[in-house]
Every structure is written in C-alpha cells, then in structure tokens.
Amino acid sequence: MNLPPNSSTSLNSLMLINRDQSLCSKRSRSRGLVLTRQGWQKLMQAGVLCDRYGNRYTYEILAGQSDLSPRTVSKILNSSFPVDKRTLTIFFNAFQLQLELDDYAIYNTILTEQATNSIKQYQAPEDYATELQLLVEEVMQLKERLEFYGQRFKLLDLAESGQNV
C-alpha cells in the first residue's frame, strides 16, 4: 500500500473502511431455536441430563463437557431463550448425538403451539352442556344403585343394626 507521507487522514479513513468491512463480514447468528420434546427426550435417553441414579447434572458440569457456558446450557435445556443452530449442534455433538430437524423448533412456532394448546383446553359451551348431561345421568344411576342397596340391606335386616356382613 502506497500512502503519501504525512497522510494520517488517508490512513484513518482506510482503517475505518477495513473495520466496517470486517464488521459486515461477520454475519449475525440467527438465535431463534429451542429444543423440542423429542430433542429433550433424546438427551434424556442418552443419559446426558442425569446420572444412572436419576440425579440431574448441574449446568456447570454439562457446560464443562460441552465447552459452552453454564448460561447457554441453561438456555438450551429450559427452552426459555432461543439459541442458534450452531450452539445446539455443539451441545449434541459433545455427547456424541446427532442433531436432527425434529430435535429443535423455531421459538415463535413453539410459543404459537403453546398458546393454541392452552386455548384447546377450554371447552366450547356446547361441550359443557353435553358433559353436564352425562354427569346428571351418572348421578341418577348412582342414586338408583344406592336405593337398590338400601332395599337389600332392609331385606337382610342390616339397615341400621350395625351388624357386619
């Protein structure tokens, strides 16, 4: 690079250009993935999360084995904060596991599924009427049985004598 002598301005602008190019070349990671139930079960079945006595490993122990920070391990296992695919791959590879498509999901998708599932838990009003009718019928059947047994006890003279059968 040929710079004219005493051209600090040119050197400063060149350094700024290089810094901006290096910042642009660093692509930000897409942190939007969380473990699915299948991914969690894969870790459980492989014995990654617990010892053979069922005691859970600490985040620090898992972090040491996977070369990730305890905070990152916590994010992965709690599925409370999304992480990037590279981090999940590192974690799975540390335990000789292959990260598959079904092992993770996009965080927003998981939130939508949870919201949908919580809405499904509430029944529609017509379901309440049907359920109420079934309960009334069941109570009526129980009442009939009690009356039937009461009649049998009277026949056996056990109604209020307190005798054991």
pLDDT single digits (tens) 54-81: 888 999 999 999 999 999 999 888 877 8
pLDDT reported for residue 66: 92
- Distance of alpha carbon 115 from alpha carbon 96, whole angstroms: 34
**Over 60: is that where the pLDDT of 139 sits?**
yes
pLDDT reported for residue 82: 87
Least confident range from 22-26, 80-84, 91-95: namely: 22-26
pLDDT reported for residue 7: 47
**Over 50: is that where the pLDDT of 88 sits?**
yes
pLDDT reported for residue 144: 85
Angle between helix 85-94 and 70-78 (nearest 10): 100
**Over 60: is that where the pLDDT of 132 sits?**
yes
- Distance of alpha carbon 136 from alpha carbon 126, whole angstroms: 16
What average pLDDT does the structure give for the chain?
75
4/131: higher pLDDT: 131
- Distance of alpha carbon 26 from alpha carbon 42, whole angstroms: 33
Give the 3-state secondary structure of residue 106.
strand
pLDDT reported for residue 163: 57
**Over 80: is that where the pLDDT of 9 sits?**
no
Residue 153: Cβ within 10 Å count: 14
